Amino acid sequence: MSEFEYNEDAISELLIKISETMEFKRIEHLVLCIRKQYLNFMSKSRLDGFVMPKFLETLADVSVDMLNNSGISAAAIMQYMIEHDVNNWVHYYLMTFLIPLFSNDNQESRDKAEKLFIHVFVGYLLDLLGDRKVEIGHVRDGEILTHERNKYDLSVVNGVEFSSSFFIFDGKAYMYGIHMDIDPLRFGDTMPGFARIITDKVTDGNILLRLDDRLALPIDEVFSSRTLNFDKYRGPAFRFNDSALKQPKTLTLDKAGMKSFTSGFALDVDIVSNS
């Protein structure tokens, strides 16, 4: 068997085993909240040499160790990914970068090719086997909430700093949850529309958000998942017609399917925090 031939069952088993590791489970929801396939998102780092984000490094180390222990060659893995490349991102990285790097007869190019291969392999795994369920019940079941919170599992985040892809609170950066509408009110704004309303219109009261530790990163490791304003997430959107949230609104949730919404909010007082 040549290095490019492979046992499909053996590779499929390896990929599934990696997807079942703690390191994979720890970051798959974070990757989902990037709101695009990882190999697509990765392409925007071309000018930086496709440097791997720090939050992926532990999974990459585990994946490489499991690959080495499996006896499956990197060439066989690449051939498998090429033949199971749904959206052509593997072809893009192979033809545009990996083949030219491997063709250069110097150690620096080979080192770059090896790092890029590992990055593509991990991204492929996340795109292929990462959790893509967005049902509210499923997302909530996996939440890791460690901050003090009210009966709606919202925490007071006064002093929060909003950005286009994340917010900063208590020394950490939190990616916006998958069900949050992060479209800006106007082109080029540096924060989502809801954050702009809070920042510009709300002058008193507490700011409350969900603080899911699955979406938390050290501030120096945070990244932007947005490309100007051309990426549009088609999720639930709450519109208030410039009411600045001052008038009572109603939120209706289909408890059976947990999928249907009627835009709005219900004013209430939390008996714990009296807010």
Roughly what angle, to the nearest 10 degrees, separates helices 107-129 and 54-70?
A: 100
Tell me: pLDDT of 128 over 50.
yes
Q: What is the pLDDT of residues 22-32, one digit of tens each?
A: 999 999 999 99
Residue 257 half-sphere exposure, CB side, CA atoms within 13 Å? Answer: 3
Q: Dig out the tokens for 211 from the structure.
A: 């603080």
Q: What is the pLDDT of residues 141-173, one digit of tens each?
A: 999 999 999 999 999 999 999 999 999 999 999
What global pTM score does this model have? 0.78
Q: Mean pLDDT over residues 261-269, rounded?
A: 45
Question: 21-35, 71-85, 188-202, 223-237 — which is least confidently predicted?
Answer: 223-237
Q: Which segments of the chain are extended strands (E)?
A: 155-156, 161-162, 166-169, 172-175, 208-209, 216-218, 252-253, 261-262
| Locus of tokens 């009411």 | 243
Tell me: pLDDT of 263 over 80.
no
What is the rounded (10 degree) CA torsion for 84, 89, 91, 97? -140
Residue type at 157 in one-letter notation: V
DSSP string, 82-123: HHT-SSSHHHHHIIIIIHHHHHS-SHHHHHHHHHHHHHHHHH
Q: Mean pLDDT over residues 232-251, rounded?
A: 45
Q: What is the pLDDT of residues 76-107, one digit of tens each?
A: 999 999 999 988 999 999 999 999 999 998 99
